[in-house]
Amino acid sequence: MRHCLDTTDFTVEEIDDLIHLATDIIADPKKYAHVCDGKKLATLFFEPSTRTRLSFEAAMMELGGNVLGFAEANSSSASKGETVGDTVKIVSCYADIIAMRHPLEGAPRVASFKSDVPIINAGDGGHSHPTQTLTDLLTIYREKGRLNHLTIGLCGDLKFGRTVHSLIKAMCRYTDVEFVLISPKELAVPDYIKTDVLDASGMKYTEVEHMEDVMPRLDVLYMTRIQRERFFSEDEYLRHKDAFVLDPEKLESAKSDLTIMHPLPRVHEITVDVDDDPRAKYFEQAKNGKYIRMALIMTLLKWGGALE
Ligand code: CP
């Protein structure tokens, strides 16, 4: 049995297989409509979500399976003090696979020690969001036709943004990828990501405070939200909330084939008039999330012996 706790739990070849399976599902969804007949996915969401939870549920339904779960900690016995370990021990009696989001970093790993079925990390605090990263890789692959030879701008809250940390870790394993890290100093990528991931893999990166300076160089621009829920004080959040806003004017100097991504939800950081720009791919990206999660559910169930 294998879990999905971090993107690096998978080899590059396994990620390629997931991307190719998702691409095949997109091309011929009917072929997969009964693959998970009789199987159940539990979604245990201790933190709010729209895309991740609903795309997991849609993914399992489109594979012919069923879903159960909760969308907030208060509607589960976590509110009475039940531990994550006990919760998953119980839920693994009712479901064949579990997708779990939790505010505490490492909670899905703790869950994996107790679970009798595969655990998928659907986001744990500021740490990791591997299924968002798989979604991002599928989107980049579909838009660019490659995961190598790319200059990727990451913009916004690079300190607390778990999607950014996961994407950096995943892309470090490809050739000739350069990151341009665009953030105010207070929201820069944490030092451990720079030393343990970027420097350790020899990846080229630069840090800048203004997106206009680097826009013409970028193949992909990955915008992120300034996350109110991760700040210690409201004042600190208010100081940063409008730090970077992408609008049509800032895109004037960008490449004609730039891919604009955002894990969503968006608040102020991309103006709605950018949505009509053919380079805006963030809604496609959200749609891709369902297909890569279908591929992941099938793959983990197969590896665990629950599917042929
Ligand atoms: N991208 C993402 O994780 O969105 P949700 O918080 O809505 O799941």
Q: What is the pLDDT of residues 126-139, one digit of tens each?
A: 888 999 999 999 99
Could you tell me if the CB of 118 is within 6 A of ligand 1? no
Which ligand 1 atom is the nearest neighbour of the CA of 47?
A: 6
- Neighbouring-strand partners of residue 150: 177
Tokens representing residue 75 in the block: 């509607």
In percent, the amount of the chain with pLDDT more than 90 equals 85
Could you tell me if the CB of 51 is within 6 A of ligand 1? yes
Q: Does the pLDDT at position 53 exceed 90? A: yes
Ligand 1 site-directed mutation target among 47, 101, 131, 132, most atoms within 8 Å of CB: 132
pTM of this prediction?
0.94
C-beta separation of 174 from 144 below 8 A: no
pLDDT value of position 229: 65
Cα–Cα dist 69/82, whole Å: 16
Q: Is 37 left (phi over 0), alpha (psi -120 to 50) or beta?
A: beta
DSSP string, 203-271: -EEEEES-GGGTGGG-SEEEE----GGG-S-HHHHHHHTTS--B-TTGGGGS-TT-EEE--S--SSSB-
User: Where does the pLDDT of residue 232 fall: very low under 50, low under 70, confident under 90, or very high at 90 and above?
Assistant: low
Strands 40-45 and 97-102: what pairing? parallel
Protein residue whose Cα sits closest to atom 5 of ligand 1: 49
Can you tell me the mean pLDDT for 261-283?
Answer: 96
Which ligand 1 atom is the nearest neighbour of the CA of 129?
A: 3
3-state helix, strand, coil split of the chain in percent (to 5) is: 45, 15, 35
Can you tell me the mean pLDDT for 138-142?
Answer: 98
Q: How far is CA 162 from CA 89, 205, 216, 307, in A?
A: 26, 18, 26, 31
> Collapsing DSSP states into helix, strand and coil, what is residue 74?
helix
Tokens representing residue 47 in the block: 């933190």
Q: Does the pLDDT at position 306 exceed 80? A: yes
Helix (H) or strand (E) holding 132: helix 130-144
Return the C-alpha torsion angle 271, 272, 275, 280, nearest 10. Answer: 20
57-61, 164-168, 216-220: the lowest-pLDDT one: 164-168
Catalytic site positions: 51-52, 80, 101, 129
Could you tell me if the CB of 288 is within 6 A of ligand 1? no
Measuring CA to CA, which residue among 131, 145, 165 is closest to residue 51?
Answer: 131
pLDDT value of position 241: 72
What's the angle, vertex CA 136, arms to CA 133 and CA 142, rounded to 5?
145
30-39, 57-66, 76-85, 130-139: the lowest-pLDDT one: 76-85
pLDDT value of position 27: 98
Q: Does the pLDDT at position 295 exceed 70? A: yes
Q: Is 252 left (phi over 0), alpha (psi -120 to 50) or beta?
A: alpha
